[in-house]
């Protein structure tokens, strides 16, 4: 039994092939990482690490612009994906985790400790969802709602990361 690839995803029962061949779903599913049967959010965050490593050395302005573009595009990407899946905030939608990881490491000096600790802090806040993250997760719908709880979790993770590493 594999941890990857369920037969169908969402209420509309999309196949992995449909997800991987649809550009919006391919992005929303984190380049396929959200297809994991177990812990798709964690897999999506892991998929964000190589992307982070590509942009980490670009300078704060470029990094900020890319992070902002990923986050704002996520509102539309996640909203469209939820519609196509027929399910709000389906677990396989992990574009929000990718944006969240980038926000977690925003304006942080590069270090491998930051890469690893940022991963665990972001996952901690994203899974635990302390106030006000839990309220946003429950009350805000659509693509904005899908993104908002992860953005808030990332802000919490970024603050803790700064307290620990800077």
Unique residue bearing structure tokens 């986050």: 71
Does residue 9 sit within a domain? no
- C-alpha dihedral, 20 to 23 to 28 to 33, nearest 10°: 30
Q: What is the pTM (predicted TM-score) of this model?
A: 0.94
Cβ-contact 102, 147 below 8 angstroms: no
The pLDDT score that the predictor gives to residue 7 is 82
Q: How far apart are CA 132 and CA 55, in angstroms?
A: 30
The pLDDT score that the predictor gives to residue 166 is 75
Q: Which two tokens mark 112? A: 């491998």
Q: How many domains does the chain have?
A: 1
Does residue 11 sit within a domain? no
Does residue 152 sit within a domain? yes
Q: How far apart are CA 85 and CA 110, in angstroms?
A: 37
Does residue 3 sit within a domain? no
Cβ-based burial of 41 (10 A; exposed 0-12, middle 13-18, buried ≥19): buried
Does residue 118 sit within a domain? yes
Does residue 6 sit within a domain? no
| Angle subtended by helix axes 60-85 and 95-104, to nearest 10 | 160
The pLDDT score that the predictor gives to residue 4 is 58
Does residue 2 sit within a domain? no
What are the residue ranges in the chain where pLDDT is below 70? 1-5
Does residue 7 sit within a domain? no
The pLDDT score that the predictor gives to residue 3 is 59
Residue 9 dihedral angles phi and psi, to the nearest 5°? -130, 140
Range of the domain at 30: 16-165
């Amino acid at each position: 039994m594999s941890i990857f690839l369920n037969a169908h995803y969402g209420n509309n029962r999309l196949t992995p092939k449909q997800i991987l061949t649809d550009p919006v779903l391919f992005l929303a599913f984190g380049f396929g990482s959200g297809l994991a049967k177990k812990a798709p959010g964690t897999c999506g965050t892991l998929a964000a690490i190589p992307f982070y490593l590509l942009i980490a050395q670009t300078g704060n302005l470029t990094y900020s612009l890319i992070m902002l573009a990923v986050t704002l595009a996520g509102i539309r990407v996640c909203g469209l994906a939820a519609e196509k899946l027929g399910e709000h905030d389906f677990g396989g939608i992990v574009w929000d985790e990718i944006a969240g990881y980038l926000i977690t490491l925003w304006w942080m000096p590069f270090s491998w400790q930051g890469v690893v600790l940022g991963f665990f802090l972001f996952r901690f806040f994203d899974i635990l969802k302390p106030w006000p993250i839990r309220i946003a997760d429950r009350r805000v719908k659509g693509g904005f709602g899908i993104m908002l709880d992860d953005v808030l979790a990332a802000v919490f993770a970024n603050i803790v990361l700064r307290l620990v590493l800077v």
